[in-house]
Structure 1
Amino acid sequence: MPRLWIAAFALLLAGCATAPEPAPVSSETTTAGRERLSDQDLQAKWWTWAASSPENRNPVVDDTGQWCAENQPQDVWFFAGTFGGAVDRRCRVPAGRPLAGPAITLASTDANCTTFMADAKGSVTLDGQLVELRRIAPVAITYQAARDNVVGQREGRVPAQGCGLWAWIPPLNPGEHELLVKGESGTFSSSARYLLLVNSSD
Structure 2
Amino acid sequence: MPIVPRLFTAALALLLAGCAATPGPAPVSSETTTAGTEQLSDQDLQAKWWTWAASSPENRSPVVDDTGQWCAENQPEDVWFFAGTFGGTVDRRCKMPAGRPLAGPALNLMSTAEGCAQFMADAKGSVTLDGQLLELRRIAPVAVAYQAARGNVVGQREGRVTGQGCGLWAWIPPLKSGEHELLVKGSSGTFSTTARYLFTVSSAG
Counterpart in 2 of 1:187?
190
Match of 2:3 among 4, 9, 13: 9
Give the secondary-structure state (helix, strand or coil) at the position aligned to 1:117: helix
Q: CA deviation at 1:152?
A: 1.0
Give the secondary-structure state (helix, strand or coil) at the position aligned to 1:9: coil
Counterpart in 1 of 2:49?
46
Residue 61 of structure 1 pairs with residue 64 of structure 2? yes
Unaligned runs of 5+ in 1: 1-6, 15-31
CA RMSD across the alignment: 1.4
Residue 100 of structure 1 pairs with residue 103 of structure 2? yes
* Contact 1:183–1:190 (CA under 8 A) maintained in structure 2: yes
Residue 109 of structure 1 pairs with residue 103 of structure 2? no
Unaligned runs of 5+ in 2: 9-34
Counterpart in 2 of 1:71?
74
Q: CA deviation at 1:10?
A: 3.1
Residue 124 of structure 1 pairs with residue 127 of structure 2? yes
> 1:135-150, aligned counterparts within 5 Å?
135-150=138-153
Counterpart in 2 of 1:159?
162
The separation in 2 between residues aligned to 1:190 and 1:97, in whole angstroms, is 25
The separation in 2 between residues aligned to 1:10 and 1:110, in whole angstroms, is 21
Question: TM-score scaled by structure 2?
Answer: 0.85
Structure 1 stretches (4+) deviating beyond 6 angstroms? none
Aligned length: 179
Question: TM-score scaled by structure 1?
Answer: 0.86
Counterpart in 2 of 1:172?
175
